Chain A
Amino acid sequence: MTALAPAVARVARRAGPAWPLTLATALLLAALVLPPLAVLLQVSLTDPNLDGSPGALTLRHYAQLLDDPHLLASAANSLVFAACATALSLVLGAALAWLVERTDAPLKPLATLTTIVSLGTPYILYVTAWLYLLGRAGPFNEAWRNLGGAGNLVDPYSLPGMILIEGFLWSPLVFLLLSATFRAANAEMEEAARMAGASIAATLWRISLRLAWPAILALALFVFIRNLEAFDVPVLVGTPGRISLLTTDIYLATKEVPPRLGHASAFSMVLVLVVAGLLVLYGRLARRAEAFASVTGKGFRPRPFALGRARPVAGLLIAVNFVLVLGLPLLALLWVSASPFLRPMRWAGLPSLTWKHYRAVFSVPAYVDLALHTILAAAAAATAAVAITAIAAWLAARRHPGGPVLDQLATLPLVFPGIVLGVALMELSLRLPFPLYGTVSLIAIGFTIRYMPYGMRYAYAGVLQLHRELEEAAGLSGAGPLGTLRRVVVPLLSPALAAAWLFIFLIAAKELSMAVLLAGPGSQTMAVAMFDLWSNGQGGELAALGLVWAALMTLVATAFHLLGRRSGTAAYGR
């Protein structure tokens, strides 16, 4: 024992004064992140006993999975769906971001408005709006029939329909992220090209696009991964249209009686491996994008490109995007929420508009509980995720020993598609000696695990912007690691942490794929309740509830936007 003490002291000295903090953070992260992975692996490799506990080892689930001809079809559908939707959202989002950030195009606020509203609106609400718009009673098919066409012009329950809807869903986020890229870019790079005699088109093609290319490529891969994991559109559009995708296959396997958990777990493991591979690729691309990011000059407010005669066209593009991504769905939802039953949009229907769906929403106390559950779970998850990742990001960014491990642990949940994490947490919680399955707490834990990587990104970037000497001065003044963290780092980091909190809150509040597996009858979240309403054919009530909720969340999203703009200007220099 006495011989051990100097050795421990030596290790502790090398690990630096922050090692107890590092160790505690690592253990906490590991306890959150590793069990879901372990349980998936175990269930996928064992035969269940009659009581549901894991039995003998087997590769049966994997063998069945690979034998199933259905898998190939689902995989192909998933790939086509993810790739095409990514391309669509990228073209829309990138064009919009460039027009808004670098030209004198009119109507710019419309693009920002679209983004803010879409940040807070559950995807499921958008999807139902589009299903109505493109559906049999929707204005497109109605116009087609009025023009003398037979049957329906478009069928939303098809792969192209799914791609269209998913592409629209993602374009605001692409716009948001690429706006930052274009804003941070050194405008002198483009000005130099113009001075060298290049036209606007040549500058755009040879300089702007090429410089943004690594960032666009990295973003494309990120959106592709998220589209591969998508659940809302596949289950709402694909399943009724008999188009199976990987995520919906997993979901349906857990909903069979008895649930085929081994099958779902093996399926999940395969999906986790695919996503992990893509994430490694993404990491490389993102690093290259950073190497390309140029140092800006004195931060002169760049004069945006004068589009001249093309200006009205640019304005039209922005307006059309606004109508497609926000205007039409909103109009459809308003119509549906105020109509007594599902019917086409017609002037003749105006007199019979009704408040009954809104009255229903406000008179049923269960809806208030629903809102409270959702806010509670999202807020708890945002708080926990931000608290843990703020410490982990500081330790990692300041290269404390063990920092890289913290970084990897906190980023690991990116490999879990929502549905997969849902399966894992379901299996995990069913084995616990105390009842956790079906509670709001479990959903909050799930959100925390799933969205920690986002907290990490915000906090890490925030720490990198802090000058190291601020902390060293605190250390020289006698503050320990915890004191430095509490009195210097966290206060200076607060804008980044607040942005992270709001972002996680917003995406958690609209999450469906994981919550739908974990929610019990008394612990539904808003998105899950909307899913149920949709499944029960209560479209009117769904639209009314969704609009009220979206209005509330738009307020939060506005706060997020304002905060980002304030701290964004500080980061980008004027």
Chain B
Amino acid sequence: MMKPPPPDATLAVSGLRKIYPGGQGGVHEAGFTLTPGTFFTLLGPSGCGKTTTLRSIAGLERPDAGRIALGDRVFFDAAAGLEVPLDRRQIGMVFQSYAIWPHMTVFENVAFPLRVARDRRFSRAEIAASVGQALETVGLAAFAARPATRLSGGQQQRVALARAILRAPRLLLLDEPLSNLDAALREEMRTELKRLQRQLGLTTVYVTHDQAEALELSDTIAVMQAGRVVQMGPPRDIYLRPRNRFVASFVGATNLLDAAAPEAVAAGAIGPATLSSGQVLQATYPEAARPGTRIALSIRPEALFPGPAPDGWNRLEATVETAGFLGNLNRYKTRLGNTQLHLSTSPETLLEPGCPVTLHVSPANTLALQEHP
């Protein structure tokens, strides 16, 4: 079971399209290639197509177009009219509702893939050994004989995981597996999932709308919007270098200031950006801009410093409006001209509502984003 993954566990999805009658949800265009062992997350608001993408890989949906392959095995190819039925794909999957069968014990739930296996028959001893090992892996060895109806949410989750990894799949699919758990348990299972995925070295596709989950767990994140992948990359890039307005505001909180490019700026360069007040800031342009291009300046609340700052940083003269103490940080709303600027500081930094404050932000953390890159 805990072998290293076979070398050909590369998941390649290209040109995926699935439109539902009625036009709600669905995928317009999705494609990605994952190196074996990647923890890959599809992140986006509900209806963005992330679940449809996952279900297409699983074989639970038949895409309208595109190609899905795992290593040298083609699961689906619309052009070639090829579709491997879902029960032949040998993919492990954890469902949002866990889908733990209430009429079976924990043992039987986990043993199911071996009981229905058609490639070979498993002896009783083999089944007991595999199931025992899988339950051991998820920390439920003592629960084998328990009826499935008498499990907590977290335990059901672990049973679902044990069932998914039992036959050493080359690919693991997780459909919002933490969304039905309470906050404390969610933290715990996050760590547990990551540990398991590392231990088994499984290529994993994870679907969630929770950006914190995505940032903590993933090697690679694909942010989806309206049926398309809008940005794909490591968590740091997604958070620190969002490519457009949507990604910046969906992943983490940010301030967006209306501005325009006064001159042409090359992609990836630092250049001037003119605020509506006329003030000019130095900003990083992820995409090339022409003179007059409308942009939104994205500045994270924690990138703003009220204290002294190095030369070359942007200075913003604002007025403190309200203050909120959250324990691990202070949150302030300040006013900059006719826009609001959110600011988070260390709990020691105290600002008085009504007082003026000078805020500094580095050009690297001032992002000039366009509506669509």
Contact = CB atoms under 8 A, between A and B. Distances in A.
Interface in B87-121: 87-93, 95-97, 99, 101-103, 112-113, 115-118
Nearest to A186: B97
Nearest to A198: B116
B116 to A, nearest CB: 4
A199 B87 contact: yes
B181 interface: no
A297 B96 CA distance: 6
B47 to A, nearest CB: 11
Given A189-B101, A191-B99, A291 B87 contact: no
Contact of B116 (A202, A213, A292): A202
A197 B103 contact: no
Contacts of B58: 191, 195
A300 B59 CA distance: 15
A188 B99 contact: yes
B93 A195 contact: yes
B101 A195 contact: no
A309 interface: no
B126 interface: no
Given A191-B99, A199-B118, A300 B51 contact: yes
B61 interface: yes
B245 interface: no
Nearest to A300: B51
Given A188-B95, A196-B163, A297-B97, A292 B102 contact: yes
Interface in B52-73: 55, 58-62
A295 interface: yes
B276 to A, nearest CB: 41
Given A194-B86, A195-B58, A195-B87, A206 B96 contact: no
Nearest to A297: B97
Contacts of B88: 197
A210 interface: yes
A294 interface: yes
A318 interface: no
Contact of B117 (A197, A213, A296): A197
B149 interface: yes
Interface in A154-199: 186, 188-189, 191-199
Nearest to B116: A198
Given A193-B112, A198-B116, A207 B87 contact: no
A298 interface: yes
B93 A211 contact: no
A93 to B, nearest CB: 22
Interface string B114-136: 01111000000000000000000
A206 B116 CA distance: 9
Contacts of A194: 59-60, 86-87
Interface string A450-490: 00000000000000000000000000000000000000000
Contacts of A188: 95-97, 99
A296 B97 contact: yes
Interface of B is mostly: loop
B167 interface: yes
Interface string A292-322: 1011111010010010000000000000000
Contacts of A295: 97
Contacts of A186: 97, 99
B103 A292 contact: yes
Contacts of A193: 101, 112, 116
A194 B60 CA distance: 9
Contacts of A294: 97, 102
Interface residues of B, number: 34
A234 to B, nearest CB: 37
Contacts of B116: 193, 196-199, 202, 206
Interface centre among A197, A198, A210, A296 (most CB of B within 10 A): A197
Nearest to A213: B103
Contact of B90 (A192, A197, A298, A300): A197
B61 A198 contact: no
Contacts of B167: 197
A547 to B, nearest CB: 38
Nearest to B91: A195
A298 B116 CA distance: 27
A119 B58 CA distance: 41
B327 to A, nearest CB: 31
Given A199-B118, A300-B51, A192 B87 contact: no
Contacts of B113: 196-197
A158 B85 CA distance: 49
Contacts of B96: 188, 297-298
A172 B88 CA distance: 36
Contacts of B59: 194-195
Given A186-B97, A188-B96, A188-B97, A198 B103 contact: no
Contacts of B89: 195
Given A197-B167, A202-B116, A191 B60 contact: yes
Nearest to A192: B99
A196 B91 CA distance: 8
29 contacts: A186-B97, A188-B96, A188-B99, A189-B101, A191-B60, A191-B86, A192-B95, A192-B160, A193-B101, A193-B112, A193-B116, A194-B60, A194-B87, A195-B58, A195-B59, A195-B86, A195-B92, A196-B87, A196-B113, A197-B88, A198-B87, A199-B116, A202-B116, A206-B112, A210-B101, A213-B103, A298-B96, A300-B55, A303-B60
Given A195-B59, A195-B93, A197-B167, 5 more contacts: A188-B99, A191-B95, A206-B112, A206-B115, A295-B97
Interface of B: 51, 55, 58-62, 85-93, 95-97, 99, 101-103, 112-113, 115-118, 149, 160, 163, 167, 176
What 6 pairs across the A-B complex have the smallest Cβ distances?
A192-B99, A297-B97, A198-B116, A196-B113, A188-B99, A188-B95
